[in-house]
Amino acid sequence: MTTRIVELRRGILKKNDELAAGLRRRFGDAGVLVLNLVSSPGTGKTAFLEITLRELRARGAKVAALVGDLETDNDARRLAASGAPVRQINTHGICHLDAEMIGKHLAGWDGVTSGDDASLAGLEYLFIENVGNLVCPSSYDLGEKIRVALLSVTEGEDKPLKYPTLFNSADAAVITKMDIAEPCGFDRELALRNINEIRPGIRIFETSAKTGVGMQEWLEYLAEARA
């Protein structure tokens, strides 16, 4: 059975890669910067994204978000409070988003769209918040330009070593919840060293959605990445 699984898995990933390559072309043609946010459940992806959407909109940017969860539309409702168009993808048991799910949720975007890629042409930034999972999303390209691995100060500094596939495939790393670094006994030097061991030279942002620390640097990075 193992051989069949390996073959089937290879087939699934190959098909996903093809769909993702198509999405990447569409995103590039439409001039929209697409980011895929991946982390453990509870790292604070949604809180981080709430501020990001709000701040980008305050600067006049055209932003939108897709958010994946097994169940509930809690996150979409939180993100929609920013005023940005947001869509929830419920995977109903699937532990990651894939390129096909993204493709299906791009069409006919309310408030942005008319037609198909018209929706994308109106956008500058599209954020995809993946299902909370440090393992499975790593293997599924969503056509993003930037994969962001998030890690909170509460999770233990060795997570990059224990989940190398994600950190190794990430373009940027975001440390969240810096406001509670002290009560959590967070060892900053060790965390930075571990991230750099897996992905040398990666851009790292140390942030807090509560105090706003690190967000300015992050927003500048986004503007540069789009330019």
Q: Which residues bind its own copies (CB under 8 A)?
A: 1, 4-5, 8, 11-12, 15, 40-43, 69-72, 74, 93, 95, 131-136, 152, 154-156, 158-159, 161-165, 177, 179-180, 183-184
Residue closer to its own copies by CB (options 60, 185) is: 185
Residue closer to its own copies by CB (options 45, 123) is: 45
What type of residue is 26?
R
The DSSP call for residue 33 is: E
Residue closer to its own copies by CB (options 45, 147) is: 45
Residue closer to its own copies by CB (options 100, 117) is: 100
Distance CA 32, CA 25 (A): 10
Distance CA 30, CA 125 (A): 11
Element (H, E) at 205: strand 203-206
Residue with tokens 């224990």: 162
- Taking the complex as a whole, the smallest distance from the CB of residue 157 to its own copies amounts, in Å, to 10
- Taking the complex as a whole, the smallest distance from the CB of residue 15 to its own copies amounts, in Å, to 7
Distance CA 174, CA 15 (A): 30
Q: For the residues of 50-115, what is the DSSP string, one character each?
A: HHHHHHHHHTT--EEEEEEESS-SHHHHHHHTTTS-EEEEE-TT-SS--HHHHHHTTTT-TTT-SS
Residue closer to its own copies by CB (options 29, 71) is: 71
Phi, psi of 177 (to 5 degrees): 65, 35
- Taking the complex as a whole, the smallest distance from the CB of residue 152 to its own copies amounts, in Å, to 7
Residue closer to its own copies by CB (options 118, 135) is: 135
- Taking the complex as a whole, the smallest distance from the CB of residue 50 to its own copies amounts, in Å, to 13
Q: Give the strand pairing for 125-129 and 203-206.
A: unpaired
- Taking the complex as a whole, the smallest distance from the CB of residue 73 to its own copies amounts, in Å, to 10
Distance CA 72, CA 81 (A): 16
Residue closer to its own copies by CB (options 36, 46) is: 46
